Amino acid sequence: MARPIIILLVYLIQLCSFSSSSDDQLHEGSSLSVDTKGDVLTSSDGTFSAGFHPVGQNAFSFAIWFNKPSCSGNCTVVWMANRDYPVNGRHSKLTLTKHGNLILTDAGRITVWATDTVSHLSPAHLKLYDSGNLVLHDSTGTTLWQSFDSPTDTLLPLQQLRKHGKLVSSRSRNNFSSGFFNLYFDSDNVLSLLYKGPEVSSIYWPSPWLLRWEVGRSSNNNSRIAELDLLGKFTSTDNYTIKSADYGSRIHRRLTIDFDGNVRLYSLNEREDKWVVSWQAYPRSCKIHGTCGPNSVCSSSPKHGRKCSCIPGYRMKNHTDWSFGCKPEFDLSCNGVEAGFISLRHTEFYGYEYAIYTNYTVEMCKKLCLEQCNCKGFQFRFHKSHQPYSTYCYLKSELRNGYHEPFFDASIYLKLPKTKLSLSYELVRDYSLECSVQVEQLTRTYHERKENEPFKLFLGFLSKNTVLWSTCAIGGIEFLVIFLVWFFLNRTQHESDQMGSYRLIAATGFRKFSYAELDKATNGFRKEIGKGAGGIVYKGKLSDDRIAAIKRLIDANHGEAEFLAEVNTIGKLNHMNLIDLWGYCVEGKHKLLVYEYMEHGSLAENLSSKTLDWGKRFQIALGTAKGLAYLHEECLEWILHCDIKPQNILIDSNYQPKVSDFGLSWLLNRGDVKNSKISRLRGTRGYMAPEWVFNMPITSKVDVYSYGIVLLELVTGRSHSQGIEGEKTLIKWVKETTDATEKWMEMIIDPMLEGQYDTTEISILITVALRCVEEDKDARPTMGEVVLMLLQLEEKH
Ligand SMILES: *[C@@H]1O[C@H](CO)[C@@H](O)[C@H](O)[C@H]1NC(C)=O
Ligand SMILES: *[C@@H]1O[C@H](CO)[C@@H](O)[C@H](O)[C@H]1NC(C)=O
Ligand SMILES: *[C@@H]1O[C@H](CO)[C@@H](O)[C@H](O)[C@H]1NC(C)=O
Ligand SMILES: *[C@@H]1O[C@H](CO)[C@@H](O)[C@H](O)[C@H]1NC(C)=O
Ligand SMILES: *[C@@H]1O[C@H](CO)[C@@H](O)[C@H](O)[C@H]1NC(C)=O
Ligand SMILES: *[C@@H]1O[C@H](CO)[C@@H](O)[C@H](O)[C@H]1NC(C)=O
């Protein structure tokens, strides 16, 4: 039924469009000129335009761009004819010649680009379609050339990336010329990302150290085609498939390889008039090769994006462009005696090893490296997964692809002249310089149900084509009737699609709520479920039926803009062991945060009931440590929690812990934490580190201390506040018991466990806990180190 109608519809549209000359076409012998503003082709629904787009001072490229978000001379370009050869801002033009060649000439003379097509028999015309495809047809309808066949850095829905095609990034945010990153099918049929710099090149996606099948790719299909469909699914013949976060709705999307080397799928949020990222290839963009150039280290944080910094003894080569990296400030003569080493922990320089030695000690590696002129340093790694344990020493001839990541368990040793060894260098904090690349973080927005697409199309059609309309009015009435039938036939299908995406986005949305909405959700703030730092928590049901924990802040005494900035940063934190922030509300004096709700409640509640066996307790200890380590280090933001306690550790349905209330100390008292000068006492008695009491600098080690107390409670099942044998604190009691007797474990362990536990795990956990609660903050491990200690334990099983 629907098919003949569509065919008729297409026929009618064709019929009408031949009888009018509209601005989506260019005919033989005519041209578009750079001098005339508004000399552009615009697709019939107004989505795309093709014309001259400024790319620099008095420099233009012939391009296709989105007309939304509304822009002028600053649009989202999806294709360019001459990205590397811009033309003059005067007398340049694009001409469709008499015999069907489309040529772009600079200042009226030099041809900088051409399609090299001919159409002897019938006149050709160029047409910009609603899909964003610019097509050169002859009048028989044969396609002579189309822009979809030669993508630049963007794929539009239904545009195929094929065997010999590639997407090439722009040079920088403002420079559209070809950059260093390519998305293409490699010779093994696998869709890959390649860094192709001026000196070196390497593939960085899929991860080069993994085998293709390990990342789910197949090399068998050599047709090599990748395509984004209309609903937001991207598929490639190497068996790679992804779906956008808003899959299902028919909205405008584009897949772009950005100038920073990451591939992102963008969706147009028409309500906010901006593009949002709905998928990206690399969550940790520091692993993209070539990010910071040679001899520098990349690190990333949710607030500042990626940052580059030179390794000690080196300085930036070109102050406007990190891709040149850093150059040595010294001339290392090849006399080994004058050199020594600086080590950077948790830092990797990928590739460029010219030799690998197994089972060498660090001293032996140093000696080797000193003896060899081309050795710039070495990566020292201890592979726990390789049995029996072996060490590996990778001697490097070049220091490229450097990145710092707290969980990367290896160090790099850099060879430097002895005179430079005294450099005090704190890798993690010393990121004063920022990468030229800085990309807006993945933000997810909330979509309302969209208007019905065909109807909108129809309205657009009506308004755009009034002339055309009158010329085929009779056909039009028929068309209208048929269209309405078609529209109602399709309606049911559409709505179910959209509901699907609605739910999906809802599940990942971070957004602003109105006070009225939250008032309604909580039934007038009736059901109080907790009281915590700075506010009261209520249970509520959002309009989409999600159950939320809504926190009303009492003491948020700073401006709205500041609040928004902070909340946005917290909203971007994303870790399985941190509670999800769904949104916020700020209206006048009302400031609220909306979190996911945890059915299983807090660790405090679970500890007092019999629900936690040893396995679960260990997972909670590990997960909590991971969440905190992420807050402290991975983000480089130094978000201190300052109030770790069992009440703030929530338990999900799989008994995975989720830390809540993070970022609050910061939200409630901005600036103080950053400067390590907290004047007011924070936290909860019993969990607070001695620094608070003695007015000493507050560092991430305050959280380590509180975490140590939580560990002790997990093992013993006792609360720090319960008096133990009189006035003793929990710490003192555990310490004394472990020192006093061989059978300490039986004495301190939670009797609720009824003997079901792993003695090795307990003894390590107690050791870790006691180290965490050392009086001296420097004697405590970092959260990252705690995670590593616990992970090693987990691996042994
Ligand atoms: C863009 O980058 C290229 C390559 O680095 C350079 O040659 C060109 O001058 C730059 N264009 C602009 C407008 O900065
Ligand atoms: C171009 O757009 C960006 C981001 O949308 C904006 O920051 C910038 O100011 C705009 N530039 C011009 C010249 O309009
Ligand atoms: C493609 O992936 C699916 C699941 O993602 C898997 O079942 C199938 O075996 C894969 N095909 C090939 C050829 O690897
Ligand atoms: C390769 O992929 C295409 C498109 O998915 C498919 O039609 C074709 O059958 C595949 N060929 C092989 C040999 O698997
Ligand atoms: C730095 O890079 C820019 C852009 O690539 C270039 O125009 C400039 O000449 C370079 N400066 C130096 C000092 O090399
Ligand atoms: C490294 O040393 C360990 C212990 O001495 C030994 O068992 C292992 O086989 C060695 N590894 C290699 C790769 O030689």
Give the pLDDT band of residue 172 (cuts 50, 70, 90). Answer: confident
Where does residue 505 rank: exposed (0-12), middle (13-18), buried (19+ CB within 10 A)?
Answer: buried
Contact 127, 43 (CB under 8 A): no
The residue whose C-alpha atom lies closest to atom 1 belonging to ligand 5 is: 318
Taking the CA of 177 as reference, the closest ligand is 1
218, 223, 224, best to mutate for ligand 4 pocket (most atoms within 8 Å of CB): 223
Closest ligand 6 atom number to CA of residue 358: 13
Least confident window among 516-530, 535-549, 591-605, 673-687:
673-687
Nearest-atom index, ligand 3, CA of 217: 14
Residue 589 has pLDDT above 90, yes or no: no
- Average pLDDT value over all residues in the chain: 79
158-167, 695-704, 748-757, 774-783: lowest mean pLDDT where?
695-704
Give the 3-state secondary structure of residue 373. Answer: coil
- CA-CA distance, 766 to 738, in Å (whole number)? 9
Atom of ligand 4 nearest to the CA of 235: 5
pLDDT at 382: 77
**pLDDT, position 665:** 59
Ligand 4 center–CA 161 separation, angstroms: 15
User: How far away, in angstroms, is 357 Cα from ligand 6 center?
Assistant: 11
With H, G, I as helix, E, B as strand and everything else as coil, classify residue 550: strand
Helices (H), 75-181: none
Q: How confident is the model at residue 557 (pLDDT cuts 50, 70, 90)?
A: low
Residue 574 has pLDDT above 60, yes or no: yes
Residue nearest to atom 9 of ligand 4 (CA): 221
Residue 16: pLDDT band with limits 50, 70, 90: very low
Sequence letter at residue 50: A
Known binding residue 551? Answer is yes
**CB of residue 241 inside a 6 A radius of ligand 4:** no
Kindly report the protein residue whose alpha carbon is nearest to atom 1 of ligand 1: 175
State yes or no: pLDDT of 486 exceeds 60.
no
Say yes or no: CB of residue 318 within 6 Å of ligand 5. Answer: yes
361 lines ligand 6 (CB under 6 A): no
Q: What is the pLDDT of residue 543?
A: 87
Using the Cα atoms of residue 315, residue 317, residue 322 and residue 325 in order, give the sign of their dihedral: negative
Residue 470 is predicted with a pLDDT of 35
- Cβ-contact 184, 225 below 8 angstroms: no
- Which pLDDT score is estimated for 725? 58
Strand, helix or coil for residue 212 = helix
Q: Is the preceding omega at residue 417 within 30 degrees of 0, hence cis?
A: no
Q: Judging by DSSP bridges, how do beta strands 296-301 and 402-404 pair with one another?
A: parallel
Percent of the chain with pLDDT over 70: 77
Is 344 within 8 Å of 411 (Cβ atoms)? yes
| Torsion angle of C-alpha atoms 568, 570, 576, 581, degrees rounded to 10 | -70
CA of 391 to the centre of ligand 6 (A): 8
pLDDT at 440 over 70: no
- What's the CA-to-centroid distance between 393 and ligand 6, angstroms? 13
- Residues 6 or more apart whose Cβ sits within 8 Å of residue 110: none
pLDDT of 768 reads 92
Beta bridge partners, 380, equal 393, 411
Burial of 610 (0-12, 13-18, 19+ CB in 10 A): exposed
- Confidence bin at 632 (pLDDT 50/70/90): confident
Q: What is the pLDDT of residues 411-429, one digit of tens each?
A: 899 998 887 776 544 433 3
- The protein residue whose alpha carbon is closest to atom 14 in ligand 3 is 218
Atom of ligand 3 nearest to the CA of 241: 5
Q: Is the pLDDT of residue 113 over 80?
A: yes
pLDDT at residue 453 in the model:
36
Ligand (nearest to CA of 172): 1
Mean pLDDT is lowest, of 1-10, 144-153, 758-767, for 1-10
Q: CA 77, CA 66: separation in Å to the nearest integer?
A: 6
39 lines ligand 5 (CB under 6 A): no
d(CA 644, CA 665): 11
Pick the atom of ligand 4 nearest to 237's CA. 2
Ligand 3 proximal residues by C-beta, below 6 Å: 216, 218, 220, 239
User: Of ligand 6's atoms, which has the minimum distance to the CA of residue 390?
Assistant: 1
Let me know if 643 is a catalytic residue.
yes
Which of 138, 260, 580, 643 is catalytic? The answer is 643
Among candidates 276, 315, 309, which has minimal Cα distance to 291?
309
Do residues 182 and 167 make contact, with C-beta atoms less than 8 angstroms apart?
yes
Nearest residue (by CA) to ligand 3, atom 1, is 239
Cβ–Cβ < 8 Å for 350, 289: yes
pLDDT, position 60: 94
Q: For 635-658, what is each residue's pLDDT tens digit?
A: 444 577 778 889 889 998 888 999
Flag whether pLDDT at 537 surpasses 70.
Answer: yes
Burial code (b: 16+ CB inside 10 Å, e: under 16) for 180-211 equals bbbbbbbeebbbbbbbbbeeeebbbbbeeeee
Give the ligand at the shortest distance from the Cα of 320. 5
| CA neighbor of 628 nearest in space, from 787, 766, 771 | 787
Contact 476, 469 (CB under 8 A): yes
249 closest CA partner among 471, 492, 497: 497
Ligand nearest to the CA of 225: 4
pLDDT of the residue at 19: 34
Q: Confirm or reject: Cβ of 723 under 6 Å from ligand 1.
A: no
With beta carbons less than 8 A apart as the criterion, state whether 251 and 273 touch. Answer: no
Confidence of residue 559 (pLDDT cuts 50, 70, 90): low
The reported pLDDT for the residue numbered 519 is: 92
Distance 69 CA to ligand 2 centre (A): 11
pTM of the predicted structure, to 2 decimals: 0.60
How far, in Å, is the centroid of ligand 5 from the Cα of 319?
Answer: 8
Q: What is the mean pLDDT of residues 497-519?
A: 58
Whether residue 283 has pLDDT greater than 50: yes
Position in ligand 1 atom list of the atom nearest CA 56: 13
Higher per-residue pLDDT: 515 or 640 = 515
Residue 43 tokens, joined: 């697709």
pLDDT reported for residue 705? 94
**Does the beta carbon of 172 sit less than 6 angstroms from any atom of ligand 1?**
no
787 pLDDT tier (thresholds 50, 70, 90) = confident
Above pLDDT 90, what percent of the chain?
Answer: 34
Most confident of 204-208, 501-505, 789-793: 204-208
pLDDT digits (tens, 9 = 90+) for 605-624: 888 887 889 999 999 999 99
The pLDDT tens digits of the residues spanning 217-238 come to 899 999 999 999 999 999 999 9
Residue of 402, 365, 370, 369 whose CA lies nearest to 381: 365
Residue whose CA is closest, atom 5 of ligand 4? Answer: 237
Question: Which distant-in-sequence residues (6+ apart) come within 8 Å of 698 by Cβ?
Answer: 640, 642, 673, 676, 677, 678, 691, 692
Round to the nearest angstrom and report the end-to-end CA distance of the chain: 62
Residue 436 has pLDDT above 70, yes or no: no
pLDDT band at 527 (very low <50, low <70, confident <90, very high): confident
Nearest-CA residue for atom 1 of ligand 4: 221
pLDDT digits (tens, 9 = 90+) for 320-372: 888 889 999 888 767 656 888 888 878 899 889 999 998 888 999 999 999 88
User: Cα(12)–Cα(6) distance, rounded to whole angstroms?
Assistant: 10
Q: From the CB of 321, is ligand 5 less than 6 Å away?
A: yes
Instruction: Determine the pLDDT at residue 49.
Output: 95
Q: Which residue has the higher pLDDT, 565 or 621?
A: 621
Task: Using the mean position of ligand 5's atoms as its centre, give its distance from the Cα of residue 175 in Å.
Answer: 13
Is the shortest distance between the CB of 470 and ligand 6 below 6 Å?
A: no
Ligand nearest 389 Cα, by number?
A: 6
pLDDT of residue 482: 42
Question: Cα–Cα distance between 38 and 129 in angstroms, integer?
Answer: 18
